[in-house]
Amino acid sequence: MSPWQNFIKGFIKENPVFVLVLGTCPTLAVTTSVANAIGMGLSTTFVLVTSNIAIAALKDFIPDKVRIPCFIVVIASFVTIVDLVMAGFFQVIHSQLGIFIPLIVVNCIVLGRAEAYAAKNSLLPSAIDGLSMGLGFTFALLILSTVREALGEGSFLGHKFIHSDGILFFILAPGAFIVFGYVIAIINRLNRCKK
Amino acid sequence: MEYVLMIISAVLVNNIVLTQFLGICPFLGVSKRLSTALGMGGGVVFVMTLSTIITYLIQTYILVPFKIEFMQTIIYILVIAALVQMVEIMLKKVSPALYQALGVYLPLITTNCTILGVAILVVRKEFNLIESTVFAISNSVGFTFALIIFAGIRERLELLEIPKAMKGIPLALVLAGLLSLAFMGFSGIVH
């Protein structure tokens, strides 16, 4: 796989949210607004890239039997870094995302890529893979949050373009599930049409 | 009395899966059969209660006095991973039948965001040990409750004709949305 193909796969073909259906918890929780979605997406991308690099670099030194706990410690360390940096420099987003920042450590995408890719490939491809999956994740969050914020508040990134109340349903929990379900259904349909 | 309110709140009003969005991955993955749903639910109740107690004690007696709260994420996830491993080993010896029944779902509980989520939540909400334990038990019961309802409905849906694009995950998500909407009816019970 060429580096470009490696990079582009996370957006459509192997999109972690819509195709692999991983990382669904933060997807539903933070897509109430586009700003939160971008914040979460970029934080997860940072953790993905750094932990993929670290694990690809350390893979020859980690005994096979304890590899999962080792991966988890590596990932948890980078998540702690992200958490502290956000608490220091991006307090608003930090308080909006709340508990989902430390929960990046159990985001199935991160451990999944570490296990499936970084543990078997060298540094640069692993870094590109992490970037691809992270940006693909951000892309998916962007789509969902645009829909939810537009319908629920009539705004985008906080700027209202419909100057009245939105449909509250889309900001609340049920709306999250249903929008997500229909977006996957639409993508399934589009994928089948291509073939 | 407030414990009763806490239980009602955790199971019905602020159900961990349907309103807090924790535990969606196993929720979508394990809920196709009622029997696996029950097994997963039981595992979660056990692991969540035990891990909340242990991580709470670590937070109170080690992390805070030594001022290393930033180690919370790393220590918590290690404790949970170790606990699940221990439970797996114990279960193999004590009750091989139950071990077989839970199968592959037991290690999956480690990456279940509910376990880590509840462990962190009790610290953020500043509960004491008893409140944390009640919170953990009721949230895991709430998870199991939602999972059982979901699995029951999905088993029935298997028998119907569904548009190809909606098959599987999309339908499950729409179903979860409707379930979440139904549970919204409970809001206002606890004020």
- What digits encode the pLDDT tens for the residues B146-161? 999 998 888 888 888 8
Instruction: Note whether B96 contacts A: Cβ–Cβ < 8 A.
Output: no
Q: Which residues of A touch B77 (CB under 8 A)?
A: 72-73, 76, 105-106
Select the residue of A83, A105, A180 nearest B173 (Cβ to Cβ): A180
Distances (CA, A) of B84 to B81, B105, B108, B123: 5, 11, 9, 21
The Cα–Cα gap between A14 and A43 comes to: 20
Kindly report the backbone phi and psi dihedral angles of residue A155, in degrees, each rounded to the nearest multiple of 5, phi listed first: -135, 170
- Quote the pTM value: 0.87
Provide the shortest C-alpha distance from residue B22 to chain A (in Å).
Answer: 6
pLDDT at residue B188, rounded to an integer: 75
CB atoms within 10 A of CB A68: 19
Decide if A24 and B25 are in contact by the 8 Å CB cutoff. Answer: yes
Decide if B116 and A103 are in contact by the 8 Å CB cutoff. Answer: yes
Specify whether the CB–CB gap between A132 and A6 falls below 8 A. yes
Decide if B70 and A80 are in contact by the 8 Å CB cutoff. Answer: yes
Decide if B21 and A79 are in contact by the 8 Å CB cutoff. Answer: no
Mean pLDDT of B69-79: 87
Decide if B174 and A25 are in contact by the 8 Å CB cutoff. Answer: no
The Cα–Cα gap between B3 and B5 comes to: 5
Tokens 């180690």 sit at which residue? B71
Nearest CA in chain A to B112: A106
Specify whether the CB–CB gap between B145 and B45 falls below 8 A. no
Whether the pLDDT of residue B191 is over 70: the answer is no
pLDDT at residue B19, rounded to an integer: 85
Listed in sequence order, the residues at least 6 apart from A108 whose beta carbon sits closer than 8 Å to its beta carbon are A22, A23, B25, B111
Decide if A181 and B177 are in contact by the 8 Å CB cutoff. Answer: yes
The Cα–Cα gap between A94 and A86 comes to: 6
The Cα–Cα gap between B38 and B102 comes to: 9
Using pLDDT thresholds of 50, 70 and 90, give the confidence band for residue B104: low
For A111-160, give the DSSP string.
HHHIIIIITTS-HHHHHHHHHHHHHHHHHHHHHHHHHHHHHHHSEETTEE
Decide if A73 and B78 are in contact by the 8 Å CB cutoff. Answer: yes
Tally of domains within chain A: 1
pLDDT at residue B28, rounded to an integer: 81
- For residue B13, which amino acid is it? V
Instruction: Note whether B68 contacts A: Cβ–Cβ < 8 A.
Output: no
Q: Which residues of B touch A171 (CB under 8 A)?
A: none
Using pLDDT thresholds of 50, 70 and 90, give the confidence band for residue B26: confident
Select the residue of A99, A108, A181 nearest B111 (Cβ to Cβ): A108
Decide if A102 and B28 are in contact by the 8 Å CB cutoff. Answer: no
Query: Tokens at residue A32, please?
Result: 């109430």
pLDDT at residue B44, rounded to an integer: 86
How do the residues of chain B divide into helix, strand and coil, expressed in percent and rounded to 5? 75, 0, 25
pLDDT at residue A14, rounded to an integer: 85
Instruction: Note whether B116 contacts A: Cβ–Cβ < 8 A.
Output: yes
- For residue B78, which amino acid is it? L
Specify whether the CB–CB gap between B45 and B142 falls below 8 A. no
Provide the shortest C-alpha distance from residue B95 to chain A (in Å).
Answer: 24
Q: Which domain holds residue A88?
A: 3-194
Provide the shortest C-alpha distance from residue A2 to chain B (in Å).
Answer: 31
Q: What 3-state class would DSSP assign to A129?
A: helix
Instruction: Note whether B153 contacts A: Cβ–Cβ < 8 A.
Output: no
Distance between terminal CA atoms of chain B?
Answer: 14
pLDDT at residue B35, rounded to an integer: 78
Q: Which residues of B touch A79 (CB under 8 A)?
A: 73
Mean pLDDT of B2-23: 86
Q: Which residues of A touch B177 (CB under 8 A)?
A: 173-178, 181
The Cα–Cα gap between B106 and B72 comes to: 23
- For residue B63, which amino acid is it? L
pLDDT at residue A46, rounded to an integer: 94
The Cα–Cα gap between B33 and B35 comes to: 5
Listed in sequence order, the residues at least 6 apart from B112 whose beta carbon sits closer than 8 Å to its beta carbon are A106, B23, B25, B26, B44
DSSP H helix total and E strand total for chain B? 9, 0
Of B78, B61, B85, nearest to A77 by C-alpha is: B78
The Cα–Cα gap between B60 and B129 comes to: 10
- Output b/e per residue, A121-148; b: 16+ Cβ within 10 A: beeebbbbbbbbbbbbbbbbbbbbbbbb
Q: What is the mean pLDDT of chain B?
A: 85
- Output b/e per residue, B142-152; b: 16+ Cβ within 10 A: bbbbbbbbbbe
Instruction: Please identify every stretch of chain A with a pLDDT value under 70, giving residue numbers as ranges.
Output: 195
Decide if A173 and B28 are in contact by the 8 Å CB cutoff. Answer: no
Decide if B173 and A181 are in contact by the 8 Å CB cutoff. Answer: yes
Decide if B24 and A24 are in contact by the 8 Å CB cutoff. Answer: yes
pLDDT at residue B85, rounded to an integer: 82
Domain limits, chain B: 2-183
